[in-house]
Amino acid sequence: MTADLGKSRLVELWHLMDDRNRELGLERYDLGDVHSHPLLRRLSRGRLGRVVARALRAPDLIAPLWWRAVLGVPRTVVPSVFYHLGLSYLDRERLAGGPVFPPGEADAACEAALGHRLDADLVCWQHPYSHHAAGWRSEAESCPHPPSCAHHTGRVGFMLVTVGRAHNRAQFIDAGTSAARALLSYHAWHNYDDGSRTMSYYPFSDDEVINTGLDAAMLLAAVPDRTDEMQAALDGLLRTALAEQHPDGSWDYCTRRHYERFGGRRVVDNHHTAMVLAALARILALGAAPEELLRPITQAIETGLRFYLDELFLPDGTGLYFPGRRRRTGVVGYTEGIGAVRAALQKVCLLPRDLAMRAAAMLPILLSRAIDGFLDVQTGDVACCRFFGRPYHLRSARWGSAPLMQAVTDLLSLGNSEATDD
């Protein structure tokens, strides 16, 4: 484990990754992009083809950059990269130490994000992977709405509003508000008798993914002038998150109703659990939750964070992808976890003292694990994950350097004592 993660060293590593991103640009290969290749999509439709497709994954594990070049997989800009960069730039400009960092960089991330939006009446972004959520899709041709992705639209919209409010940039606030309206207008919503609501990942799907619903809720909470419709949707999404939490504090990836409708294996995993926790804590900090839900949300965060630290990390800080299994989490398990802990600790008196102290003590351990396990300190590249003990390097920004940059500024912004110089 890294012996010294002092502030000056973390700032140095942050700029190393930022410089590398500027050198390579944001149009990159990305984790999972190879699965959208037409050949692999066709093979995956049959039982024998799926066996062949799994065999064809071997070159990807050994030489992922070469294999993508051979297959002709295009480099893409994955929209949520702007969420990580914009928020990390916003935090970095407020931190002392290292090169002077101008406020214009966060604004530039906002402008770049808007340059990649869909050509639609309302602001939204498309997922670049054609294979994603294939089992939930209806016929796209029959859907009258643009192919908005709730994960990207929710997260990038939140970044736009956050930077816009920090820098008093009305155009970014307006764009983020438009993204919130896109989620309400373009996506499929289910309203239930208990007051809960769910939202689909895509306009042409009928799923109920819990963390994606909270991506939308986080954006709705950030909008400064919420309409009654926005507040009602936010309240319903929060009620869903509360209703779907298991007694041990965990959340499945999708709702119970989703699994009844579509089947599939119920899973609890590291980075999606962290996303749920972070969203709930941020919504509380924004003062957007209704009064009657404040105590239940606070309790859900406490129970969820205890589960997260107990079941998804080993005592030495090694992250598990699934609780109780051998598979290790990738870099985003650590980075989303750091974001969740930061969000929970920023709300005064949100956590009991013992849990707050434990979570704060875990922050530098998690960041050290992420840096040691995934960052190439010579190049600034960040691996997505590790296979057979080897780092899986795609030079990805969205699933690599950008979330790790955000994790660094998350820790430094919280002022954790373990991140300061002696």
Here the tokens at position 367 are 């960041």
Length of the chain: 422
CA distances from 186 to 113, 204, 234 (A): 19, 9, 16
The strand pairing partners of 190, in sequence order, are 198
The answer to whether the CB of 321 falls within 8 A of the CB of 333 is: yes
**7-37+73-419: CATH number:** 1.50.10.10
d(CA 137, CA 230): 26
Beta bridge partners of 191: 197
- Whole-angstrom Cα distance, residue 55 to residue 84? 34
385-387 and 390-392 beta bridge pairing = antiparallel
- Quote the pLDDT of residue 422: 32
Q: In the block, which residue shows the tokens 């005592």?
A: 315
**What does pTM read for this prediction?**
0.93
Q: For position 76, what pLDDT does the model report? A: 93
CA–CA distance, 141 with 44 (Å, rounded to integer):
22
Of the candidates 317, 363, 402, which has an alpha carbon nearest to the alpha carbon of residue 24? 402
| Structure token pair of residue 172 | 């970014």
Rounded Cα gap, residues 125 and 150, in angstroms: 8
Cβ partners under 8 Å of residue 130, min gap 6: 36, 41
Token pair for residue 111? 């402008």
Q: How far apart are CA 39 and CA 17, in angstroms?
A: 34
78 CB contacts (<8 Å, ≥6 apart)?
A: 30, 128, 152, 397, 398, 399
Cα three-residue angle 38-40-42, rounded to 5 degrees: 70
Rounded distance, CA 406 to CA 328, Å?
21
Question: Which DSSP string corresponds to 154-213?
Answer: HHHHHHHHHHHHHHT-HHHHHHHHHHHHHHHHHS-EEE-TTS-EEE-SSTTB---BHHHH
pLDDT of residue 180: 98
Per-residue pLDDT tens, the chain, 422 aa: give them.
Answer: 444 678 899 999 999 999 999 999 999 999 888 877 777 777 666 666 667 777 777 888 888 999 899 989 999 999 999 999 999 999 999 898 877 788 899 999 999 999 999 999 999 999 988 766 666 666 545 778 999 999 999 999 999 999 999 999 999 999 999 999 999 999 999 999 999 999 999 998 989 999 999 999 999 999 999 999 999 999 999 999 999 999 999 999 999 999 998 888 899 999 999 999 999 999 999 999 999 999 999 999 999 999 999 999 999 999 999 998 889 999 999 999 999 999 999 876 689 999 999 999 999 999 999 999 999 999 999 999 998 888 999 999 999 999 999 999 999 998 733 333 33
Report the Cα–Cα distance between both ends of the chain, in Å, rounded: 18
C-alpha atoms less than 13 angstroms from C-alpha of 328 in its C-beta half-sphere: 20
Tell me the backbone φ, ψ of residue 57, rounded to 5 degrees.
Answer: -80, -15
Tokens standing for residue 8: 């000056």
Break the chain into its structural domains and give their ranges.
7-37+73-419
DSSP designation for 131 = T
CA distances from 340 to 161, 221, 276, 308, 391 (A): 19, 17, 8, 10, 25
